[in-house]
Amino acid sequence: MKRLGRLAAAIAAFAVATTAAAQSPRIEPAPGALPVPNVGGPPDAGTPPSVPVEPTTPELIVDLSRARVSITSAFQGESILMFGMFDPPGEIVVVVQGPAARETVMRKQRVLGLWLNTGRQSFDDVPAYYAIAASQPLQRLLARGAGGEILSLADRLSTIKPATPRDADALAAFRSGLVEVKRREGLYPAAIGQVTVQAGRLFRVDLPFPSRLPEGVYDIKAYLLRDGKIVAAVSRPLPVGKVGFSAQLAGWADNEGPLYGLGAILMALLAGWLGGAVLRRL
C-alpha cells in the first residue's frame, strides 16, 4: 500500500505541475459545478504540451490533492480534490469507499411512553463512508450496459451481510435505518458528486469528508466509461488517521488503557491542586 502511494506521488508531482497551471484560470468561469463538459471553453492553450511526453500514455491518470487525511486537533472535515486526465471520448465515475467494519443499527420504540432501544441488528462489511461522483447523471451513464462493478449506494448496501439472520422486511428496515444515520453524519452523501471535465480530457472532483470521520484506509477509484462500459479504472488508497497529539492520545487510550487512565488521574490531580493553589491567592 505504502509503496503504491509513493509511486502515485511520483506521478502526482508531474500531474500537479500540469493541472495546477491549468486549474487556476478555470475556477472563475465555472463557479458552481457545470454539468456540461465545456470543451475548449476558457482560454487554456497551455495545457496539452505535457501529454505527448510519455510514449505509452495510459488511458486514465489520476491523483489526489493530498496523500492522506490528517485528523489533527483542529480537524473540522476536509475536502480532497481528485484530478486526472483521460483519453477522450468518455465519461468519468469516481467511487469513494471507507474501510469496512461491523456496524450495529439500533431502533428505538416507545415503551410506556419512553423511547428506548428495543431492536438491534448487526451487519458485516459495512463501508464507513460511501460516495459517488460522476461527470454525467449516473443513470444515463450506466443505463446502456450497467457499469459492472460500479455500485450505487443502494446496490452496495444490498451486499452487506446481516450478522444474525432475520426476515427480509425487518432487514430492509434496519438497512434503511443505517443509511439514514450515516447520511445524517455526512458519511453517505445523498447527492452524486459532480466530476467536472475540462477540455474534454481533464477532470476534477471535490470529495467532501465530514469532521466525524472513521479512521482507516479509504479507497478512491476512478472509472473511465465509454458507451456504458468500463474501459479503464485506477484506484488510489487514501489513509485517514489521527496525527500528532490527537493520534498519540487516542493510541494510548486504545492500547494502554490502564496507563492512560493513570495519566488522566495524574493530570487531574495536578490541575486541581495547582488550580486550587492559584485560586486561594486571588
Partner 1 sequence: MEIYLPIAEQSMNVFVLLGLGAAAGLLAGMFGVGGGFLATPLLIFVGIPPAVAVASQANQVVANSVSSLQVQLRRGNVDLRMGLVLLLGGMIGSSAGVSLFTYLKRIGQIDFVIAVLYVVMLSTIGFLMLAESLRTYLKRRRNPEAPRGKLHTHYLVHRLPLKLRFYKSKLYISALLPIGLGFVIGILSAILGVGGGFVLVPAMIYLLGMPTAVVIGTSNFQILFVAANVTFLQAATNGTVDVVLALLLILGGVVGAPIGARLAARLPGVVLRGLMSLLILAVAAELLTELLRTPSSPYSLGTREVLP
Residues at the interface with partner 1 (CB under 8 A): 71-76, 99, 101-110, 113-117, 120, 124, 128, 174, 177-178, 180-182, 184, 211-212, 214, 216, 242, 245-247, 249-250, 253-254, 257-258, 260-265, 267-269, 271-273, 275-280, 282
Q: Least distance from C-beta 248 to partner 1, angstroms?
A: 8
User: Residue 137 or 210: which CB sits closer to partner 1?
Assistant: 210
Cell of 127: 463501508
Nearest to 206 by CA among 29, 4, 30, 12: 30
Q: What gap in Å lies between CA 238 and CA 218, rounded to an integer?
A: 5
Shortest distance (Å) from residue 19 CB to partner 1: 31
Rounded CA gap, 36 and 13, in Å? 29
Least distance between partner 1 and beta carbon 104 (Å): 4
Which of 25/77 has CB closer to partner 1? 77
Q: Min. distance of Cβ 96 from partner 1 in angstroms?
A: 18
CB nearer to partner 1: give 66 or 140.
Answer: 66
How many other CB atoms are there within 10 angstroms of residue 170's CB atom?
13
> From the CB of residue 132, how many other CB atoms can be counted at a distance below 10 Å?
20
Shortest spacing between CB 24 and partner 1, in angstroms: 29
Contact residues for 234 (Cβ-Cβ < 8 A; gap 6+): 58, 60, 61, 62, 84, 221, 222
Instruction: Report the residue number, 51 or 170, with the smaller CB distance to partner 1.
Output: 170
Nearer to partner 1, 20 or 273 (CB): 273
Exposure class string for 208-232: b at 16+ Cβ within 10 A, else e: ebeeebebbebbbbbbbbbeeeeeb
